[in-house]
Structure formats: C-alpha cells, structure tokens
A = this chain, B = another copy of it.
Amino acid sequence: MKIAVMGAGAIGSLFGGLLSNSGEDVTLVGRPEHMATINNNGLKIDGVSGEHIIKVKTTSNAGDLDKVDLILLTVKAYDVDKAVREINSIVGTNTLVLCLQNGLGIVEIVSNTIKEKQIIRGTTTNGALFIEPGHIKHTGKGDTIIGRMGGEVDSRLEEIKAVFDKAGFPTTISTTMNEILWNKLLINISINPFGALTNLPNGQLRELFANSMKIVISEAIEVAKNVGIELDLNTAIDKTFTVQFNTKNNRNSMLQDVERKKKTEIDFINGIVVKYGKIVKVPTPLNSLLTSLIHGLEQSYMS
C-alpha cells in the first residue's frame, strides 16, 4: 500500500516506520531535522517492539508527495486544519485520509476540504516517545480502532486493517466510531486538565477531584445526548478511575505539553464539550472553566 504519514512526530513515525518495515511503500512528512536524520541514518525505533533501523522515504514538504492510497494524518489536533490544506493537492479520488488525533471535532475540520467518504477516523492506545531526531521509542503496545463516522464498512477499511495487523498494530474496524471517540473523550476530559493544572500524576487526581470529575463527565454526557449519543455516567466514571489507577505514575499528555510550554489540545478535549454545548444549549460551566484555565496557562508561557 502506498502510504504517506502527514505529521511524522512520535506516533506518526512509529506507524510509518513499522509499516515500511513490513513492506509498505511509506513516505514520512515531518520536521526537517527529524527527516534529514532519518535520510542519513535510517529511522531508529526501539522499545516494546524490539530494535529496528528502518529505511523510509521522507520529505518536509507535503507538496512533493505523489498521490497515495492512504494518508495517515498524525499532526496535533490544532494543526489539522493547516495540514489538510497542505495535503489537498495530493489527495486523489481513491486516496483515504485516516485521522489519528485525540479528541473530537477533527472530521468536521477535515471534511471542509476532503470528501467525507474519503475520511477514516482512528484511535490508538499505542504509546510512542520522540527521543531525538531520527529516534522514536515504542513505549507501549496497544489497540487501534478505525472506522467511518457514519459506520459504513467496505473492502478499503479491511485492507487498512490487514496492513496494520501485519505491521504489528492489531486493528479493529468499528461501526460506532463516534461513540468510541466520545467514550475516550470522557476519560480525557476528566484526567488531562486536572493533571495539567496541578502538575500531578494521574494517580493523585481522584482523591482531590472525584466530585468535579463526575460533574465534568455529566456535562459532556448531557451534551452527547443532545447530539444523539447515549453514554452511561457510572460506566464512564468507573472507566476514568480505572485508567487513572492503571496509569497512576503517568503525567498526562496535556501536562507534558504544559511542562514543555507547548500549545495543548484542550480545544478538542474539554473545549469541544463547551463548543457543542453552546450549539445544543446545554450548560457546561466546569468544562468551560477548565478550558479557560488551560488557555490562560498557554497565554502565560506562549505570548
């Protein structure tokens, strides 16, 4: 399969590298220094999938790409808009775009430019860490789920699943992608900003925030209900507490962004609950406060 990875950071390089390693025709699109190092020395991947030095094509300019079968869109959520405009010229009639971002609202952005039937949504629990230019660590094996927002399944999805499975990413095709994304969102909204604002690992959040987390999740479930998604409060609360316990020493990705004084994905996590809430007229005061607090923090270190 001819594949381009748009946004070859940690997770993009991991997928692109192992897909290339298993025989696919992959080109990575990423930052010049990372791409140049891979060109010169190959892409080093170590960690849970063993140690590999992988030869893979690279470019820093999406415009240089040929038409491909699949574009793996792995830029940060807030860069999707820009990335989609950059890849637009190389999206052919048969090209599929697989969006692997955290959060909600991604397909809405992509579909401004790309036809909805060419968009696939995905989510993965594989962990990857950017060690240095040319070097990625696969920190945890996980599951990958792909599907169309409308739930349709066809042979193209099966082909992607086969290619991913072969490369070492066990993949499931889902007909309820929207519900899967909402369920994942409920976990992210009840962990990420709490850790990011307090500088605490996941395991220390529950004792401080159990009540606030329940309200944050309740607000989102009420919003989801009004956009046609039924979710269960108790299941979601059990799930987030289980995830917090199982990852108790982890500093969540939003906290890591704050520590590195980088922009966060808050607008696609708690912020999207606020945005949808306004549309369906469901109040979301706690999600709104958390979103603004993270915006304030970003303002303090980015301006």
Contacts and interface: CB of A to CB of B under 8 A. Distances in A.
Interface stretch (A9-17, A40-48, A139-147, A200-208): A200-208
Contacts of A194: 293, 296
28 contacts: A194-B296, A197-B197, A197-B293, A197-B296, A197-B297, A198-B296, A198-B300, A199-B300, A199-B301, A200-B296, A204-B296, A204-B299, A205-B296, A208-B292, A208-B295, A208-B296, A208-B299, A209-B289, A209-B292, A211-B285, A211-B288, A212-B288, A212-B289, A215-B289, A285-B285, A285-B286, A286-B289, A289-B290
A168 B211 CA distance: 48
A299 B212 contact: no
A198 to B, nearest CB: 3
A22 to B, nearest CB: 43
Contacts of A215: 285, 289
Interface string A266-303: 00000000000000000001101110110111011100
A286 to B, nearest CB: 6
A25 to B, nearest CB: 47
Contacts of A211: 285, 288
A209 B294 CA distance: 11
Given A204-B296, A209-B296, 9 more contacts: A194-B293, A197-B297, A198-B299, A199-B301, A211-B285, A211-B288, A212-B288, A215-B289, A285-B285
Contacts of A295: 208
Contacts of A199: 296-297, 300-301
Interface in A189-226: 194, 197-200, 204-205, 208-209, 211-212, 215
A119 to B, nearest CB: 33
Interface in A150-169: none
Nearest to A204: B299
A300 to B, nearest CB: 4
Contacts of A292: 208-209, 212
A180 to B, nearest CB: 28
A209 to B, nearest CB: 6
Contact of A299 (B200, B288, B297): B200
Nearest to A289: B212
Nearest to A195: B296
Contacts of A300: 198-200
A204 B298 CA distance: 12
Contacts of A197: 197, 293, 296-297
A257 to B, nearest CB: 15
Nearest to A216: B289
A31 to B, nearest CB: 28
A289 to B, nearest CB: 4
Contacts of A289: 209, 212, 215, 286, 289-290
